[in-house]
Amino acid sequence: MLCFSAQGRVKSPQDDYKGVTRLCREKIRRAKAELELNLAAAVKDNKKYFFKYISSKRRAKENLQPLADGGGNTVTKDEEKAEVLNAFFASVFNSRANRSLGTQPPELEDRDGDQNGAT
């Protein structure tokens, strides 16, 4: 359903949605800023409330779910998860960098490490 604004411009429901979400985000930001300002002003009178708020912000997020490594094995330890994610991101960024530099992916290189056509 299309609506016309005061300027005669056609407004779609997406435009309305974007406007409402932008307004909500702004109100949430202002409310949070006001809360933190009030906390800072009242820290001398109510230290418990202040430190409760600070500790709620410092809590760690939930653990990462088990991952599957390159061989299809399930990885549950944090160190192993870090290695799997590191290997994945390294492979993604290395392949992008190689393509942008004009080099060939490893499967197209010769066994001695030279690129095809290079002697």
CA atoms within 13 A on the CB side of 62: 3
Indicate the pLDDT class of residue 4, thresholds 50, 70 and 90.
low
Mean pLDDT value across residues 108-118:
52
Give pTM, 2 decimals.
Answer: 0.41
Q: How many C-beta atoms surround the C-beta of residue 42 within 10 A?
A: 12
Q: Each residue of 35-85: pLDDT tens digit?
A: 999 998 988 888 898 888 888 888 766 677 888 888 888 988 888 888 988
Indicate the pLDDT class of residue 30, thresholds 50, 70 and 90.
very high
